[in-house]
Amino acid sequence: MQRIYFGTDGVRGPYGGPVVNEAFVAGLGAAAGRWLESRGVRSGKMLIGRDTRSSGASLARALGAGIARAGGRAASLGIIPTPAVSRAARLGGAALGAVITASHNPASDNGVKFFGPDGSKLTDLDEAAIEACLETPRAAAPAAWDELPVESALEAYIEAAARILPAGSLRGWRIALDTANGSTCATTPTVLSALGASIAGLGDRPNGLNINEGVGSEHPEKLAGLVLSEGARIGIALDGDGDRCVLCDERGGILDGDEVLAILATHALAGGKLARKTVVITVQSNLGLDAAIEAAGGRVLRTAVGDRYVAERMRLEGAELGGESSGHILCFDFGPTGDGLVAALKVAGVMLETGRPLSELRRVLRKFPQRSAALEVREKIPLESLPALSAEIRALEGALGARGRVLVRYSGTESKLRLLVEGPEEALIRSGMDRLSAAARADLHIL
């Protein structure tokens, strides 16, 4: 079944638009309730969290109204990181978890992510089945909420995360922390402080309109400056809903998800602790990551872009580590979804065990030259219908051969065409990206 409204990571779009509005979200809640009933789950409980966007409270009420309309029960978790909702659904006997968030997108956007009772994101088939249960949107009825203390989910998550490292193990550490004016402003500093660290904060004053605004994992340059000015041992930048992170070493160098995975995987392999000696990544990751992990005795499996596809393959293979270059890192020994705080703590654990700074640990990954671009598009025309771009892709693939790769795809969450070229020679990569971009602009009439 083909999905219309769900993308790579839930339903997402401009708030007040044709999809992300109270009437549609209420209808989505009702559809989710009917889908649950079709699976034999009656009066199922949905736990609903949200990030700090000003539109979040109203959309959460609408989603709750919809699930109540279909005979279910809705419980508000308030402002809470996405991985904490996943954990609450898994441990709290919920039929579904949901988060009102647009992740790293600006405050003008919002959306809905769903989690199953095991805390995992729903599959494509599940999302298509929910869409099939949609009826014509109508005004939302008043929501029926269970009185569930927000602290119960937040505190359980904080306590579990703090147990990843030994008590007091970060004493004497200065950490630069960018919480993107998002849902981790209350949780991540609490965990790091409880472990003994002192915090230099950034992006920690949410007002409903400034989530991800020049801060967070999409804008790590400010974090790098803070690391240097504060003499921090590590910098951590999270996105608006806390399910991914970007790190900064003590010299101000930015580490993406590929570098985080390389550090965690090679360290685990050296200690014989990497489950199935396997790491699952997406087609977006740098080829150097394959080389680093294979040199350490491990194997790499690739999936389509999207952390839930990574999670599905991890479950299938019995792997415990996977992720994306964007900073979604999945550590199944803690939970079944991406978690920026957990990833940062795991890297801090490697630093503690080895006694090596992050600037040295990151050298385990030697990246292949790579260029990427994201072009705004008005319409997602099938790629095979774009003659200039198709011809340029074939020519570049021929020039690279087995030494590199070309990846062209539409974003699953934004109106963008994403281009990636990777190979051993910088000059060829640079010229190839220039030709690809020009062909895409010609075919799609992009300015």
* pLDDT tens column, 105-115: 999 999 999 99
pLDDT confidence tier of residue 386, bands split at 50, 70 and 90: very high
| Cβ neighbours for 97, distance < 8 A, ≥ 6 positions apart | 46, 47, 48, 49, 85, 86, 88, 89, 114, 115, 116, 119
Which amino acid is present at 387? Answer: P
| 29-53: average pLDDT | 95
Q: Do β-strands 109-115 and 10-14 pair in parallel, antiparallel, or remain unpaired?
A: antiparallel
d(CA 418, CA 404): 17
| 338-345: average pLDDT | 98
pLDDT at 146: 65
Catalytic residue check, 325: no
Domains and CATH numbers, the chain: 6-153 (3.40.120.10), 156-254 (3.40.120.10), 255-341 (3.40.120.10), 370-444 (3.30.310.50)
Contact status, residue 240 vs residue 126, Cβ threshold 8 Å: no
pLDDT confidence tier of residue 140, bands split at 50, 70 and 90: low
pLDDT digits (tens, 9 = 90+) for 396-436: 999 998 888 999 999 877 889 999 999 888 999 999 999 99
Contact status, residue 238 vs residue 179, Cβ threshold 8 Å: yes
Query: How far is C-alpha 195 from the geometric centre of its chain's CA atoms?
Result: 25
d(CA 49, CA 229): 35
Long-range pairs for 141-145: beta carbons < 8 A, 24 or more residues apart: 141/26, 141/65, 141/68, 141/69, 142/65, 143/61, 143/62, 143/64, 143/65, 143/68, 143/74, 144/64, 144/65, 144/68, 144/73, 144/74, 145/64, 145/74, 145/75, 145/76
d(CA 224, CA 244): 17
Contact status, residue 313 vs residue 332, Cβ threshold 8 Å: no
d(CA 342, CA 244): 9
d(CA 92, CA 336): 15
pLDDT digits (tens, 9 = 90+) for 70-105: 999 999 999 999 999 999 999 998 999 999 999 999
d(CA 290, CA 301): 9
For residue 119, pLDDT beyond 90: yes
d(CA 140, CA 178): 36
pTM of the model: 0.89
pLDDT at 43: 85
Picking from 310, 303, 315, the residue whose alpha carbon sits closest to that of residue 329 is 310
d(CA 240, CA 327): 13
For residue 151, pLDDT beyond 80: no
| Percentage of the chain lying above the pLDDT 70 cut | 96
For residue 375, pLDDT beyond 60: yes
| 56-66: average pLDDT | 96
For residue 150, pLDDT beyond 60: no
Q: Average per-residue pLDDT in the chain?
A: 94
For residue 391, pLDDT beyond 80: yes
For residue 208, pLDDT beyond 70: yes
Distances, alpha carbon 435 to alpha carbons 63, 337, 374, 430, in Å: 45, 37, 14, 9
pLDDT at 226: 98
| Cβ neighbours for 428, distance < 8 A, ≥ 6 positions apart | 399, 400, 404
| 192-199: average pLDDT | 98
Per-residue burial over 303-333, b = 16 or more CB atoms within 10 Å of its CB, e = otherwise: bebbbbbbbbbbeebebbbbbbbbbbbbbbe
Distances, alpha carbon 203 to alpha carbons 142, 150, 178, 207, 438, in Å: 34, 23, 5, 11, 36
d(CA 79, CA 250): 31
| Cβ neighbours for 148, distance < 8 A, ≥ 6 positions apart | 47, 75, 76, 77
For residue 145, pLDDT beyond 70: no
Of 55, 76, 103, 285, which one is the catalytic site residue? 103
| 33-56: average pLDDT | 95
pLDDT confidence tier of residue 212, bands split at 50, 70 and 90: very high
108 three-class SS: coil
pLDDT digits (tens, 9 = 90+) for 158-192: 999 999 999 999 999 999 999 999 999 999 999 99
